[in-house]
Chains A and B, each alone.
Chain A
Amino acid sequence: MTRDKRPYWRDCLVVSLVVGVIGVTFGVFADAAGFDLAQIMVMSAFVFTGASQFAAVGVIDDGGSGGAAVGSALLLAARNALYGPVARRTLPAATLGRLASAHFVIDETTAMAAAQHDRRDAAGAFWITATTLWLFWNGGSIAGALLGAVMGEPETWGLDAAFPAMFVALLAPHVRTAAGRTAAAVAAAVAFGAVPVAASGIPILLAVSALLPAVFVQRRRGSSGTGTSEVGNDSGVSS
């Protein structure tokens, strides 16, 4: 599979670059909502979760309270807790190392790690993405805050499709097994169905229920599919 022989660090940089560009839009957005440069820098460095930062700034921009902003932001950040069990496999085993690296357990680092075939590559992908993404996200935020609306309307050049497409690319190795495809399809359907009825951040948590039918499919196939990979993908398994 040619795809899998490509060095992963290039994809890590692509991910970080895209996130950096989104960081510029965050800086512009937060600046327009009345946040000053120091606040924007602190947020990007220490909150370091794009979706939550956009949500918090959005609530304030709409005239909401600080409490409401924190609430909706943390609800969106809740999914990072579910990345923990996946990321644990690539993080340092020592408690202190784990606590230090926890800050970098986000969508992109977890997805990059989980798309690799072995533990070493997963750790490499996690850390290259973590460091470059943190730098680009913060650099982008600062640039956006200082320069203002330099990029025009980012939607006219399709930036809002870049992020989901990035994760589509990272899903590819996972959907080569029947169980992976089942999990993907059911999770998307559950999330989709939950959007109109649940607060932002909740649908992705509910999507974990997709594990049940996926396990059923895996067992029915009499699969050797579990436990073949240590880093959270089954791409070595034929279905």
Chain B
Amino acid sequence: MLAALAAGSYGIRVLGVTTLGRIVEQRLGPLVSLLPVTLFSALVALMTWERAGELALDARVVGVVAGALAAWRRASMVVVILVAMAATAGFRAFT
């Protein structure tokens, strides 16, 4: 199982930087520069709202919103992360 997992996940990444990457590059051209914001925004949404394949509204949302406010105020990444953790932990402690 571990061998299949390692080979599969490496294969996916190789595909991305070779054949698939080249095709996407050719099709999208300069629009590849919009790909990171698209993928990472979706990732944030999933990590904030998803739990075990379902949407779940919990203390993570409080932390991520607090972190986003800190980022908007141009706080450094350490501060953004600490604010988010503190807000989530605080919310959990008081509810």
* Chain A residues near B (Cβ < 8 Å): 1-3, 6, 10-11, 14-15, 18, 39, 42-43, 46-49, 52, 56, 66, 69-70, 73-74, 77-89, 91, 95, 98-99, 101-103, 105-107, 110-111, 114, 155-172, 174-175, 179-180, 183-185, 187-192, 195-196, 199-200, 203-204, 207-208, 210-211, 214-215, 218, 226-227, 229, 231-234
* Chain B residues near A (Cβ < 8 Å): 1-2, 4-6, 8-10, 12-18, 20-22, 24-25, 28-50, 53-55, 59-60, 62-64, 67-68, 71-72, 74, 76-78, 80-81, 83-90, 92-93
Pick the contact of B16: A2, A46, A105, A171 (CB < 8 A): A105
B interface secondary structure, majority: helix
* B84 & A157 in contact (Cβ 8 Å cutoff): no
Count, A-B residue pairs, CB within 8 A: 297
Note all chain B residues with C-beta closer than 8 A to A184. Answer: 37-38, 41
* B13 & A84 in contact (Cβ 8 Å cutoff): yes
| Bound Cα distance A165, B47 (Å) | 9
* A187 & B38 in contact (Cβ 8 Å cutoff): yes
3 A-B pairs closest in CB distance: A84-B16, A161-B63, A165-B84
* A183 & B37 in contact (Cβ 8 Å cutoff): yes
